[in-house]
Chains A and B, each alone.
Chain A
Amino acid sequence: MLHTVNKSPDASALRQCLQFISVDDVLVLIEDGVYCGLSGKLCPANAIDSWLEGPSTAYAVLADVEARGLLGRIDPRVVLIDYQQLVSLCVAHPTSKRWS
């Protein structure tokens, strides 16, 4: 299953997502959700750390990262992807949940 988060850590989207996501699921940060991928000391909530410390993967859309001036500020454990790779992830995971 694929989970997308499109709000910054100031909203409750990421918190709710992490509350219900399973370890085999995939997390994709899109739009304002890319602020959730800011590296530990830059991220206000720091909430994504527990997810990144596990075996699971988090992705962030590169175009959204660049648009917000965040290139180089994203946690290196977060994999930056283009739209083609986002589509591939969606195809690979027929079920998805949007947290917003």
Chain B
Amino acid sequence: MKKLLFVQSKPPHGSLQGQEGLDAILAGSAFVDCAILFSGDGIYQLLSRQHTDALASRDYAATYLALADYGVDQLYCVAADLKQRSLTMADLLLNPTLLDDAGVKALLHGADAILDF
């Protein structure tokens, strides 16, 4: 089975990219093996306690909690990005696997296709 790697690199709500990425992951998971890498500001998408009531933006972070039901259980993030932002797993909705730079390189090379959001 082909392996798709979705890379989420943008913070939520400022653009639609994060939400579009997540929609693509849910669609892709019906057909192929999907993994997600949260890179740079993308990790902010997993920050808990997002309240979007006052914005015309959907609180799509909750949808990440449904990923397991879609069979998507390979979630990764860049350890250095987390550290740079003083974030810990306790700040996040889910617990992605921490990767060092070598781990990220291996993940990128192990994918059949990479979709950047």
Contacts and interface: CB of A to CB of B under 8 A. Distances in A.
Interface stretch (B40-48, B64-72, B95-103): B40-48
Nearest to A63: B54
Given A35-B44, A42-B86, A44-B84, A71 B49 contact: yes
Given A31-B14, A42-B85, A64-B13, A10 B41 contact: yes
Nearest to B81: A44
A25 interface: no
A69 B55 contact: no
Given A10-B41, A35-B41, A63-B54, A68 B86 contact: no
Chain B: interface size category: 20 to 34
B21 interface: no
B78 to A, nearest CB: 13
Contacts of B55: 63-64, 67
Chain A: interface size category: 20 to 34
A3 interface: no
Nearest to A70: B47
Contacts of A63: 54-55
Interface of A: 6-8, 10, 31-32, 35, 38, 41-42, 44, 62-64, 66-71
